[in-house]
Amino acid sequence: GGGIFGNSGTITLTNTTLTGNSTTGISSTGGAIRSETGAIELANSIVLGNFTTTGTADDDEISVNTATITETGPNVLGPVGVD
């Protein structure tokens, strides 16, 4: 992830904005957040305007392997990719 990378454990974002992050390279994913396993918890947050130069358009913002995503409150999210 261009902004945050988590291999395991929990990534918690509350009242947070992630924008303008990017990844590059052959296997780059998750312009804002990449989580392999574990969890992503979002509350009242914005994850938008991030990108990756490879991969697919659906993982520009958040990319997960087996991680779960939980949302509470209003969140603004761009595309989320699962691989």
Q: How far apart are CA 13 and CA 70, in angstroms?
A: 11
pLDDT of residue 58: 58
pTM: 0.82
Q: Of 7, 23, 4, 2, give the one whose Cα is nearest residue 67.
A: 7
Of 64, 67, 62, which Cα lies nearest the Cα of 80?
A: 62
Cα 50 from Cα 69, distance rounded (Å): 18
Residue in 24, 46, 37, 33 with CA at minimum distance from that of residue 66? 37
9-40: pLDDT as tens digits: 999 999 999 998 888 877 777 888 888 898 99
